[in-house]
Chains A and B, each alone.
Chain A
């Protein structure tokens, strides 16, 4: 910020008009993110701006986010990353939900803990995309098992399917859904009160008001590492497996960091 101020002050008056215009434009570009920051509460930006999808054509909304994050990347290149970052931040609340076995669980404490978590949203009556999402998960399980071994996967990776129709999806239905695709341990399906489910979906950016508008997205990340990626929920499981691999091999996560948000985020450059 200081730099810019100095820059403006020291303009030699002899510079031609066109050059002045260019300089002014640069200045505006540089200041722009700061204006943005001033206008928007910081927290909102952090929570709502998710990282770009890595694969597949998804929704318009995602495309917009993609555009936006490219825009952010440009800003970064002009040396202005500061606290403003495209790094998405997802705070998963420790909600009480019910799994497919009918057990009441605390989402963070009992289910996610600090595993690498793959999240999608389904409802069991859905006949079009959800079966394909189910298939993606079972394939992913096979892939991960082959690559890392059963124990390692069970210990470090969690596949999560959240019902977006909690009124109709009771544990029984969720269990049947899992069995239909021959799901194995390590894949948890969740239902619960409408309010809790909505809170979870809003926190993860997977919320849709209308069941039919339900978007097939698979979200991959780890709370403590705070890296989240959204992928197509109906595509091949390979990109997901790659991401899991990457997360597994990153530096060890900070313990229990989901309780307090990390402040420092290292720039990419």
Chain B
């Protein structure tokens, strides 16, 4: 144990050292500058139309109607993240880089008019009153923003540097890539320690990027990795501290990050900073529209896995399998087909309750389970379900409740089909009673037969060379797939890197072979790399899984 702690400390020390040195490096040759904390707050306002201080920011279009939340029309929408502006619909949003706004000879407009150069005072009027530096009204489409005094100061501070900032995490000869590791464990002496799984992933990614650097890096830039342990818990203080760590990390992009439980925080951070997250993992990828354009998930999450299970159920499988004791004995003349009677058990916690909508509009019985119900109540509930001849159960609960369910059902001699999404699957289920043999169905977004020869070869090579850990292979392989994805995106983007270019290039990936997952595709409206799942059943005799479906693609 002591040995392990020492090892962790050394790893941590390493990490901290690289952090410190990286912050100092800004050579005189580089014109670009780092953002101050105030400018970073201003950036958040520019990018999201929301104030980091929580103050309300309103926008008014040039008519007499009321104001709207500025988040509907943040500056970045038209002026873009580099401030150079854009043209759309015959309307050109002007270049608002500070150097352009403050040219000594002023601004030449398209119509031949000129107006004086802007200064901090006139730019405030432009933002709040819609007046140009010459006192002329700006275009109707430019919203008039109402900000608190502090927010205005922050925004101005950001604008005065716009066009001159260094791209976060990018230097002449290195790229900083961040990796958010899974939930950290509260260790002794309240020092943060990683779970064995995170440790394994960390070592693997470190070795992969090291290998890339040995081969000359990416366009002569070395990859520098910054490992960020996830928050210990989700208390507001811990989360605030974690967010500060993200801000301080100053990376170009995140890769292979475990976002489970912190999806919202990372999404907000990524939107405010413009930093992309490539190959993210989460049981609940945030893919509802409007999309967060910066986060690319590798695999489908719970909802898509459940859809796959539902598709699978509608298929032929349950008609072909002898359904002996599972079938309620309804022998009416017009009902000779074997019938599945389905019940959905959902744990009454915010994590699972939202999955309920997956089953709305269907003729399915939904039942809520308390998070920690007593055995007695559970038994009572299950007996009732048994009496009503339910023979298929969607079990949307934590791993703990899954096992409790299996135990109780077995105790009352009820062995329905159990449907689970892979994100909730714990190995403990493999030791379920044999009566459940080939009756537990799980949707998995990835299976061993997705691993291609060259992917496995790379993995083995890394393992031999860097003496990586043997356990958590699946996690390691997926992390490697995410890293390969990032490498591809960086390679296709070229040396002139910006986050926007990287995101645009990610969107064009179509059926990209990581050799460790199914082919990965993204698009303008697609942020899940492989959207679908396989269905497998548990072979409890041999303690293994048996695939029972082809790949089920879910839109």
A residues engaging B (CB < 8 A)? 56, 58-59, 124-129, 131-132, 135, 139, 168-170, 172-173, 175-177, 180-181, 212-216, 233-238
Contacts and interface: CB of A to CB of B under 8 A. Distances in A.
Contact of B88 (A129, A175, A238): A129
B87 interface: yes
B238 interface: no
Given A59-B90, A135-B72, A216-B89, A129 B141 contact: yes
B523 interface: yes
Interface of B: 61-65, 68, 72-73, 76-78, 86-91, 93, 140-141, 288-290, 523-525, 555
A169 B352 CA distance: 29
B274 to A, nearest CB: 14
16 contacts: A58-B90, A128-B86, A128-B89, A131-B73, A131-B77, A135-B61, A135-B68, A135-B72, A169-B525, A170-B525, A173-B525, A212-B87, A213-B89, A234-B89, A234-B141, A235-B63
Nearest to A56: B140
B288 A132 contact: no
Given A129-B89, A236-B62, 17 more contacts: A59-B90, A124-B289, A127-B77, A128-B77, A128-B89, A128-B91, A139-B63, A170-B525, A172-B289, A176-B288, A181-B72, A213-B89, A214-B88, A214-B89, A215-B90, A236-B63, A236-B65
Instruction: Give the 7 A-B CB pairs with smallest separation, nearest first.
Output: A176-B289, A236-B63, A129-B89, A127-B77, A128-B88, A216-B89, A128-B78
Contacts of B72: 131, 135, 180-181
B65 A213 contact: no
Contacts of A135: 61, 68, 72
B63 A213 contact: no
A119 to B, nearest CB: 15
A176 B90 contact: no
B63 A238 contact: yes
Nearest to A232: B140
A234 B91 contact: yes
A51 B297 CA distance: 49
Contact of B140 (A128, A235, A237, A238): A235
A53 B193 CA distance: 67
Contacts of A169: 525
Contacts of A125: 524-525
Contacts of B76: 127
Nearest to B74: A127
Contact of B91 (A177, A180, A216): A216
B532 to A, nearest CB: 16
B258 to A, nearest CB: 27
A233 B140 CA distance: 11
Given A129-B141, A131-B72, A216 B525 contact: no
A125 B524 CA distance: 8
Contacts of B61: 132, 135, 236
Nearest to B143: A132
Interface centre among B73, B90, B288 (most CB of A within 10 A): B90
A168 B524 contact: yes
Given A170-B525, A234-B91, A235-B140, A127 B78 contact: yes
A212 B87 CA distance: 7
B119 to A, nearest CB: 27
Nearest to A60: B90
A131 B61 CA distance: 11
Q: Which of B78, B88, B141, B555 has the most CB of A within 10 A?
A: B88
A168 to B, nearest CB: 5
Contacts of B78: 127-128
A170 B63 CA distance: 32
A215 B73 CA distance: 18
Contacts of A180: 72, 290
Contacts of B555: 170
B382 to A, nearest CB: 37
B202 to A, nearest CB: 36
Contact of A177 (B87, B89, B290): B290
A267 B398 CA distance: 75
A127 B80 CA distance: 10
A85 B76 CA distance: 45
A212 B88 contact: yes
B289 A213 contact: no
Contacts of B91: 128-129, 216, 234
Contacts of B523: 168
A216 B92 CA distance: 13
A237 B63 CA distance: 9
B88 A234 contact: no
B73 to A, nearest CB: 6
Contacts of B87: 212
A175 B141 CA distance: 24
Nearest to A217: B89
B65 A124 contact: no
A7 B86 CA distance: 59
Contacts of A59: 90
B140 A234 contact: yes
Nearest to A212: B88
B290 A176 contact: yes
A237 B140 CA distance: 13
A124 B93 CA distance: 19
Instruction: Indicate the member of B62, B77, B89 with the most A CB atoms within 10 Å.
Output: B89
A176 to B, nearest CB: 3
B90 A213 contact: yes
Query: Among A135, A173, A215, which residue has the most Cβ atoms of chain B within 10 A?
Result: A135
A170 B526 CA distance: 11
A132 B59 CA distance: 11
Nearest to B86: A128
A59 B88 CA distance: 12
Contacts of B77: 127-128, 131
A235 B89 CA distance: 13
B241 to A, nearest CB: 32
Contacts of A237: 63, 65
B63 A126 contact: no
Given A131-B73, A176-B289, A168 B525 contact: yes
Nearest to A208: B89
B65 A173 contact: no
B527 to A, nearest CB: 12
Interface centre among B63, B289, B555, by most chain A C-beta atoms within 10 angstroms, is B289
B141 A132 contact: yes
B307 to A, nearest CB: 13
Contacts of B68: 135
B67 to A, nearest CB: 11
Nearest to A211: B88
A125 B73 CA distance: 13
Contacts of B63: 139, 235-238
Contacts of A176: 288-290
Given A129-B88, A131-B77, A124 B290 contact: yes
Contacts of A124: 289-290, 525
Nearest to B80: A127
Nearest to B73: A131
A212 B288 CA distance: 25
A135 B60 CA distance: 11
A139 B290 contact: no
Contacts of B73: 131-132
Contacts of A168: 523-525
Nearest to B92: A128
Contacts of B64: 236
